[in-house]
């Protein structure tokens, strides 16, 4: 449900506090952490909006653990989210797309932090120079290691079912923060006039089906046969089922997923001949998006198993990804099972 005129404005902080009051056992630590995420998102948003006016565009001259050229804005977003999370005192360690190893906070309150934080600080950053929407993806888990001790890699190698919260920020024509704590999905749009995220999409439910399929068809020849057959199915004319579907692909997971979440559709990034294990990262891209999708009534898999049931084997593990409206993902599975 989208908030409309006539309803009182509810800011992100007010919403978080109200939700906390629904759980008397809550200590407020997750609420404080979500507040700091919102602050970091505002800082990154401001820099992105000035990207064409300051020396923040282009490559930083480094290559990250993924073998990708690091953009200056990647570094900026990574640094500011890291600083905000450390300042919260609730996070003991971070896993980021931009860092080979986990970042641990071994001093002050952060050493006793209850949570570990996983993030892709700026998804789709290679598109920023052409003014295409980009985003931040994040996931939060309760730590497994003893409080007061340094965090360990095992804190991050939990299945997605153990996420306590997940979300993303999309920096586009407007800046929107979408998140879930396992009790539905809500979206907040940044009002630049007051500098606050305000509730704009309450209780988001993704349609059971849709008419959008999102996949990089430039890699068609490298796709598994089941994916090729499903694409042809999407393109067939069948007025009774609303086909042909519309192909929409931006190249930013956050942007493609956000559109499909609201309108109904499927996003697919399968394994290919050059990336036999898929390309998207399980821990800080697929798991948080899968958690949000399921909380909104959709589904997410690797083509066989629910994404959130997969056991991570490494910090930067890649997996195939099928996410979106439940009936569309189910139909894609039919083709995958029929054509091996």
Rounded-to-integer distance, Cα 1 and Cα 311, Å: 34
Whether the per-residue pLDDT at 56 is higher than 50: the answer is no
Binding residues for Mg(2+): 97, 120, 122-123, 285
Q: What is the pLDDT of residues 200-229, one digit of tens each?
A: 999 999 999 999 999 999 999 999 999 999
For residues 61-87, average pLDDT: 75
Q: Rounded to the nearest 5°, which phi and psi values hold at 244?
A: -75, 150
Q: What is the pLDDT of residues 124-134, one digit of tens each?
A: 877 767 777 89
Whether the per-residue pLDDT at 137 is higher than 70: the answer is yes
Tell me 137's DSSP state.
E
Please give the mean pLDDT across all residues of the chain: 89
CA atoms within 13 A on the CB side of 304: 5
Every domain of the chain and the residues it spans: 12-201, 212-338
Of 56, 328, 44, the C-alpha closest to 168 is 44
Question: Does CATH place domain 12-201 in 3.30.540.10?
Answer: yes
Question: Does CATH place domain 212-338 in 3.40.190.80?
Answer: yes
SS3 content of the chain, % helix, strand, coil (to 5): 35, 25, 35
pLDDT at 88: 87
Q: Residue 179 belongs to what H/E stretch? A: strand 175-180
Q: What is the pLDDT of residues 148-203, one digit of tens each?
A: 888 999 999 999 999 999 999 999 889 999 999 999 999 999 999 999 999 999 99
Rounded-to-integer distance, Cα 34 and Cα 32, Å: 5
Binding residues for substrate: 123-126, 216, 249, 279
For residues 129-143, average pLDDT: 89
Task: Encode 89-126: b = buried (16+ Cβ within 10 Å), e = exposed.
Answer: bbbbbbbbbbbeebbbbeeeebbebbbbbbbbbbbbbb
Sequence-distant (6+) residues with CB within 8 A of 2 are 200, 201, 202
Of 257, 239, 238, 233, the C-alpha closest to 335 is 233
For residues 309-336, average pLDDT: 97
**Would you say the CATH fold of 212-338 matches that of 12-201?**
no
Sequence-distant (6+) residues with CB within 8 A of 300 are 286, 289, 290, 293, 294, 306, 307, 308, 321, 322, 323, 324, 329
In this prediction, what percent of the chain has a pLDDT beyond 70?
87
Binding residues: 97, 120, 122-126, 216, 249, 279, 285
């Amino acid at each position: 449900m989208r908030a409309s005129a006539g309803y009182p404005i509810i800011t992100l902080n007010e919403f978080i506090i109200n939700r906390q009051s629904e759980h008397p056992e809550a200590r407020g630590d997750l609420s404080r952490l979500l507040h700091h995420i919102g602050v970091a998102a505002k800082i990154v948003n401001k820099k992105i909006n000035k990207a064409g006016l300051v020396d923040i565009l282009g490559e930083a001259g480094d290559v990250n653990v993924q073998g990708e050229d690091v953009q200056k804005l990647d570094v900026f977003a990574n640094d500011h989210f890291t600083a905000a999370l450390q300042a919260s005192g609730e996070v003991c360690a971070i896993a980021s797309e931009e860092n080979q190893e986990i970042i641990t906070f071994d001093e002050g309150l952060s050493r006793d932090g209850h949570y570990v934080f996983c993030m892709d600080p700026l998804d789709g950053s290679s598109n920023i120079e052409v003014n295409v929407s980009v985003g931040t993806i994040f996931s939060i888990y309760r730590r497994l290691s003893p409080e007061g001790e340094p965090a360990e890699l095992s804190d991050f190698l939990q299945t997605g079912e153990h996420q306590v919260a997940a979300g993303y920020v999309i920096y586009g024509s407007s800046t929107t923060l979408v998140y879930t704590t396992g009790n539905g999905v809500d979206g907040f749009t940044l009002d630049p006039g007051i500098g606050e995220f305000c509730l704009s999409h309450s209780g988001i439910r993704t349609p059971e089906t849709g008419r959008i399929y999102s996949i990089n068809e430039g890699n068609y020849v490298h796709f598994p046969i089941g994916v090729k057959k499903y694409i042809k199915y999407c393109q067939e004319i069948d007025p009774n089922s609303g086909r042909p579907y519309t192909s929409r692909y931006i190249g930013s997971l956050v942007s493609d997923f956000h559109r499909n979440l609201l309108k109904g559709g499927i996003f697919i990034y399968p394994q290919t001949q050059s990336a036999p294990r898929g390309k998207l990262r399980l821990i800080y891209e697929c798991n948080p998006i899968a958690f949000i999708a399921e909380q909104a009534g959709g589904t997410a898999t690797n083509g066989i198993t629910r994404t959130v049931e997969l056991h991570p084997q490494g910090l930067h593990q890649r997996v195939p990804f099928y996410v979106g409206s439940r009936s569309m993902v189910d139909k894609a599975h039919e083709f995958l099972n029929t054509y091996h």
